[in-house]
């Protein structure tokens, strides 16, 4: 097992996954001794060293079952028989161009069995990570940040914007983004004109940001259906599940998607090395 694979395996064991399967057909080399701290100096090849590495990984966390697989067939059979195995991480040797068709086949297999796939490789200072979590992966928390709650100063219909605008109390600023969902609470007034027992309190709205202290409530015309705002109130951000559709590895290779920032070149600084 080489450096990248070992580092991933070590972190998974320490994190406390239920089971970790190890398969590596590549024989250990002298170069691996510089980064694989579980590899003994008297290694005799991968077939002998992998069980020894698995033993040391097991000692890091006895609550994790660490299993060494002898071949690809056993790996696939294990995945089919154990649907609880949720992710496959591939480092070597399948990341190389000569193994591309096999990598695509593994990707298709993982999709069929709802198994997340992560492909990673490292070449000196350069590295690559590609993920495929399926066509309908649900993200429960899309940013990992705490939910923000802000105090409201006014809720009013803005005819110029054709929207209900929420203005925050002076000194308060929100960190919301377009499409976020907020829940309105503790507002005085704004009772339903059709049913006096109902109010805006407890209602959830998608928002569109106008400024750090203002946002609009989507599909809500307050002047038509509710009495005027009288005072108080808070808006609390809610975490709403988001469905993501990942592309397959083959689709990514064919489309060659790049971050827009990578398409911008700054030729003005090409000569700066002369003055360094």
Predicted pLDDT of residue 216: 93
For the segment 141-158, the average pLDDT, to the nearest whole number, is: 87
| The CATH number of the domain covering residues in 149-238 | 2.40.30.180
End-to-end CA separation in angstroms for the chain = 41
Query: Residue range 255-265: average pLDDT?
Result: 62
Q: Each residue of 14-35: pLDDT tens digit?
A: 999 888 988 887 777 777 777 7
pLDDT at 70: 81
Q: Do the beta carbons of residue 32 and residue 3 sit within 8 Å?
A: yes
pLDDT tens-digit map of 107-118: 888 888 888 999
Residue 215 pLDDT exceeds 90: yes
Reading phi first (left if > 0) and then psi (alpha if -120 to 50, else beta), residue 127 is in beta
Percentage above 70 pLDDT, the chain:
87
Task: Pick 264 or 198 by higher pLDDT.
Answer: 198
Q: What percent of the chain has pLDDT over 90?
A: 25
Is domain 3-139+245-258 given the CATH code 3.40.50.720 in the classification?
yes
Give the separation between CA 43 and CA 144, rounded to whole angstroms: 43
pLDDT of residue 101: 83
Q: For 159-185, what is the mean pLDDT?
A: 90
Q: Where are the domains of the chain?
A: 3-139+245-258, 149-238
């Amino acid at each position: 097992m080489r450096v990248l694979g070992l580092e991933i395996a070590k972190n998974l064991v320490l994190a406390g996954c239920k089971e970790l399967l190890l398969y590596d057909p590549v024989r250990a080399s002298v170069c691996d001794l510089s980064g694989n701290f579980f590899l003994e100096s008297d290694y005799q090849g991968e077939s002998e060293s992998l069980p020894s590495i698995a033993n040391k990984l097991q000692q890091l966390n006895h609550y994790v079952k660490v299993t060494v697989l002898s071949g690809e067939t056993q790996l696939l059979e294990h995945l089919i028989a154990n649907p609880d195995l949720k992710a496959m991480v591939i480092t070597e040797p399948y990341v190389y161009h000569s193994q591309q068709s096999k990598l695509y086949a593994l990707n298709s297999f993982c999709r069929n069995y709802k198994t997340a796939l992560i492909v990673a490789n490292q070449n000196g200072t350069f590295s690559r990570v590609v993920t495929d979590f399926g066509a309908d992966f649900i993200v429960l928390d899309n940013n990992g940040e705490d939910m923000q709650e802000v105090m409201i100063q006014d809720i009013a219909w803005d005819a110029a914007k054709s929207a209900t605008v929420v203005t925050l109390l002076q000194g308060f600023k929100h960190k919301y983004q377009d499409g976020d969902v907020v829940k309105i609470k503790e507002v005085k007034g704004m009772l339903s004109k059709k049913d006096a027992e109902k109010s805006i309190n407890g209602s959830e709205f998608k928002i569109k940001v106008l400024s750090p202290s203002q946002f609009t409530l989507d599909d809500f015309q307050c002047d038509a259906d509710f009495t005027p705002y009288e005072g108080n109130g808070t808006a609390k951000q809610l975490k709403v599940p988001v469905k993501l559709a990942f592309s397959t590895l083959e689709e990514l290779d064919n489309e060659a998607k790049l971050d827009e920032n990578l398409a911008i070149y700054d030729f003005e600084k090409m000569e700066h090395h002369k003055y360094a």
